Amino acid sequence: MSPPAHWCSMLSEPSAFSRIDGAQPPVRSRGSWIHLKAVSEKKMLEQQVKMRDEKVIVWCIAILLLQGFHVRASAQVTNLPLPSTGFCESFVSPISYNCTEMMVQTHDGFLLAIQRITTSNPLTVRKGPAFLYHGIMEGGETWALNANDDSLAFMMANSGYEVWIGNTRSSNYTFGHLKFTRKEKEFWNWSWDDLVKSDLPSMLQYVNNYSKQPVYYVGYSQGTMTALASLSEGSITALISKAALLSPIGSLKYITSPFASAASYLFVDEILLLSGVAEFSANSDVGKRFLDITCASSQVDCRHELISQITGTNCCFNTSQISVYNKYSMQSTSMRNLAQMAQMVRSGRFSMYDHGFWNNVKKYSSLFPPEYDVSVIPATLPILLAHGGNDALADPNDVAALISKLAGSPQVLYLPKYAHADFVMGTNASQDVYTPILEFFQA
């Protein structure tokens, strides 16, 4: 529900919402403890009014969106590479590696792209299939953007692994949909639950059918969330032999990211959905407008390095590669995918998509969406959790909570100075993270 339009004119009236009952804070004589209490109460009310005003500003902009701005936003088309100039041609040297583009169809009609990479060195001892799965608003390029010696995909291929690169349904190198184009809202009518129940199981089953072996799984950020949720559903348990989870997220209860927190508690996701946005692109007019609004929140300081406001202060971010990262990161995603992340921030639950009370009852037979229960993941599955002390998205408190829920005893790699982006974009990641992963898989 949007606020009345006249709220916008009330921002300059500090008393309009000062108290729920309409009364003003009492004023007492100076020096009394009652006066101190009144001063404290007044400061609290001023802060509440400030937070209220921030939310009203966002809702007022939502009204403008509803008046027609969303029509232009939803019609925007992202420039995407054609399948003929795909991942293999763009990122993999044919001299050093064999690379094959393959397509996996999901039950709901999406045509996912996956790539199979192996070394061309005939003397390399083969070690079986490995599957790498990226984070939100990214694609499989995540694993191949650095130099060969520093990119996990090539390090694993050099070590003898048959490396499979997974891509979500919205990644740059996907093949699209059987029925819908990216211009149509129906293409974007999905949430993270669909990645859990459809995309990841479909890709892993394809790899298993091809290689006849379970995979060594590596996930990053949302790639860890998806694996944990799918494992809790039992759909991929037999398809994974070992799992290494980088910046693992089993809940967002203790998230400390100023940007993600502000966007979630300002209900930017609900505003965008209400205004008819189905595809979210940070580079679109809508994305830029709401970037400005979120940055205007008192919780966020975007005057300096924006990425630190999202991920935490990264210790080892490879700044020499920033133009490359900017080119391939922040890809489009479903608005409902982002909304589900915001829902989990607000609820503190690792749960399915919240459709609202009435629709939840119809879909789940419950007022609230069910949680993914990670405690049912088999204790016999070897898991490595690699996390950082400065990670504002995979907060150490959330990781500790995840560890306490798992039935098994995961191996933990804790890097105190690392934040979220360091695990895939850090200058030392090949030594600090990837080498321990290879050792874990080979143990």
Taking the C-alpha atoms of residue 252 and residue 322, their distance in angstroms, rounded to an integer, is 27
Cβ neighbours of residue 76 closer than 8 Å, sequence gap 6 or more: 279, 281, 284, 285
Per the DSSP assignment, residues forming a β-bridge with 219 are: 133, 245
Q: Pick the catalytic residue from 194, 391, 395, 398.
A: 391
Q: Pick the catalytic residue from 221, 257, 275, 329.
A: 221
What is the rounded radius of gyration, in angstroms, for the C-alpha atoms of the chain? 24
DSSP string over 28-72: --TTSHHHHHHHHHHHHHHHHHHHHHHHHHHHHHHHHIIIIIHHH
Q: Pick the catalytic residue from 194, 420, 422, 432.
A: 420
Taking the C-alpha atoms of residue 334 and residue 190, their distance in angstroms, rounded to an integer, is 6
SS3 99: strand
Helix or strand run (H / E) with residue 226: helix 222-233
Structure tokens at 82: 């054609």
Residue 53 is a catalytic residue = no
Structure tokens at 223: 């790639």
Residue 391 is a catalytic residue = yes
Residue 221 is a catalytic residue = yes
Angle at 134 between CA 167 and CA 184, to 5 degrees: 45
Q: Which of 102, 210, 97, 195 is nearest to 151 (CA)?
A: 97
Catalytic residue IDs: 221, 391, 420
